Chains A and B, each alone.
Chain A
């Protein structure tokens, strides 16, 4: 009985920590909007936005899981996220563009990583040459 209480306690504080982390990021974003629009946000307003965001995440997560399951997958893909953005045309367009941007960026990172081993091997030759010089 005590174990289930302790478990519930842990889950509660895990949830609280995630909420706090979300609140932190929301605070930063609100600050940037406030700066841009020259309008202040009340502390309670920032907290309210953070609360709503956290709650919406539950809906988003469940929807994503359902979409993936509907497609007989256990891994959520970007197609599922696009489906999540279906209610607004401009949102869908933005998400689709971002998806392509991210894919492009990740592709560039992968090609850079493939070039790195070539650079590393040429670097390792130089110190070895120095060592030979000092010995002689």
Chain B
């Protein structure tokens, strides 16, 4: 279950801080771990939905076309 790769805490921290408007905004360690999980789910969900779309279209490869079809709902769900 825990064998899946994940986002390194350092990366999550840097990406979040890149977009913070206030330099005083801080992030706790727990939040970094939780956000790493959050991003992992986002990516896996995008990938899995892409696969489902490809399977529905009877394809062996997930192309950008399949991803485009699942992207709107994915963004609404997140």
Give A residues with C-beta under 8 Å from B. 14-15, 18, 21-22, 25-26, 28-30, 32-34, 37, 39-42, 44-45, 48-49, 52-54, 56-58, 60-62, 64-65, 68-69, 74-78, 80-81, 84-85, 87-88, 91, 94-95, 98-99, 102-103, 106
Give, as a whole number of angstroms, the nearest-CB distance from A10 to chain B.
Answer: 13
Q: Which residues of B contact A56 (CB under 8 A)?
A: 42, 75, 78
Which label, helix, strand, loop or mixed, suits the secondary structure of the A interface?
helix
B16 touches A60 (CB 8 A): yes
Q: Nearest B residue to A81 by beta-carbon distance?
A: B34
Per the bound structure, the CA–CA distance linking A134 and B60 in Å amounts to: 71
Give, as a whole number of angstroms, the nearest-CB distance from A105 to chain B.
Answer: 9
B54 touches A18 (CB 8 A): no
Give B residues with C-beta under 8 Å from A. 4-8, 11, 14-22, 24-31, 33-35, 37-44, 46-48, 50-51, 54-55, 60-64, 66-67, 71, 75-78
Number of inter-chain CB pairs below 8 Å: 159
A30 touches B43 (CB 8 A): yes
Assuming A39-B55, A40-B62, what are 5 further A-B pairs, CB within 8 angstroms?
Answer: A25-B8, A45-B62, A49-B43, A76-B31, A84-B38
Choose from A42, A95, A98, A103 the contact partner of B62 (Cβ within 8 Å). Answer: A42
Q: Nearest A residue to B34 by beta-carbon distance?
A: A81
